[in-house]
Amino acid sequence: MQIPYTIEERPETGLNNSKLGIWVFLASEVMLFGGLFSAYVFLRLAAPEGDFAYWGSKLNVPLATLNTLVLISSSVTVIMSWASLKLKDFEKYKLYMGLTLLCATIFLVIKYFEYTSKFHHGYYPSSSNFMAIYFTLTGLHGLHIIGGMIVMTYFWLPAGNKLWHTDPEHFTNRIEIAGLYWHFVDLVWIFLFPILYLL
């Protein structure tokens, strides 16, 4: 027996179950990151003048800019993967989802080099309040990237693709939900980048 509103929209909300679920989940994520962003603001206001600017100057802006471009590109490719499924073009879906996963991998590799450079120069979370909040925010964001990659890899591999051949509409719905999560992860970085690296 199929659960109702898995594909069709609920009449009271205009959303199907999975889309309603992801919006509720993302609302909780907004509260999580909102709390951390608020902590950053309070720590910055309480810090001695120039302290956050000094530690912020230790960050690698060119690498972060490159990572921003990579992540924005991944948002485009994840939309294209969903659009390909809507057009019944499974091969293009595989291509665009593969590019999304490639972009995510590039992001994490760049972040790895950025972190190891900090450690090499002796900058740790314990070095300052700025470094503590920097590693907390970017580390948590990195964990969200990894979580998204796990889900999208499952749908990209043959095990996940069985759903396309048995219930293509359901599969397309799942990719849309994964895409909404991915857009949220990208949006968080768009806030993190200027706050940590540019201000």
Mean of the per-residue pLDDT values for the chain?
A: 91
The reported pLDDT for the residue numbered 167 is: 85
pLDDT at 191 over 90: yes
- The Cα–Cα gap between 182 and 79 comes to 10
Of 157, 153, 145, 150, the closest CA to residue 182 belongs to 145
Of 105, 176, 184, 106, the closest CA to residue 141 belongs to 184
> Residue 64: is it exposed, middle or buried by C-beta count within 10 angstroms (0-12/13-18/19+)?
buried
User: For residue 48, what is the enclosing H or E element?
Assistant: none
DSSP 3-state of 167: coil
Of 99, 30, 95, 32, the closest CA to residue 71 belongs to 99
Ranges of beta strands (E only) in 33-96 are none
The reported pLDDT for the residue numbered 36 is: 95
| pLDDT single digits (tens) 88-146 | 999 999 999 999 999 999 999 999 999 999 999 999 999 999 999 999 999 999 999 99
What are the residue boundaries of the structural domains of the chain, listed by start?
A: 49-198
The reported pLDDT for the residue numbered 1 is: 46
Q: Which residues contact 25 (CB under 8 A, 6 or more apart)?
A: 181
Q: How confident is the model at residue 14 (pLDDT cuts 50, 70, 90)?
A: low
CA distances from 87 to 84, 90, 158, 176 (A): 5, 9, 20, 14
Of 19, 147, 158, the closest CA to residue 90 belongs to 158
Domain 49-198 has CATH 1.20.120.80: yes
Q: How many residues does the chain have?
A: 199
User: How is residue 67 written in tokens?
Assistant: 């990572």
Of 186, 150, 156, the closest CA to residue 91 belongs to 156
The reported pLDDT for the residue numbered 81 is: 96
DSSP 3-state of 109: helix
| pLDDT single digits (tens) 16-68 | 778 888 999 999 999 999 999 999 999 999 988 888 899 999 999 999 999 99
User: How is residue 183 written in tokens?
Assistant: 């857009």
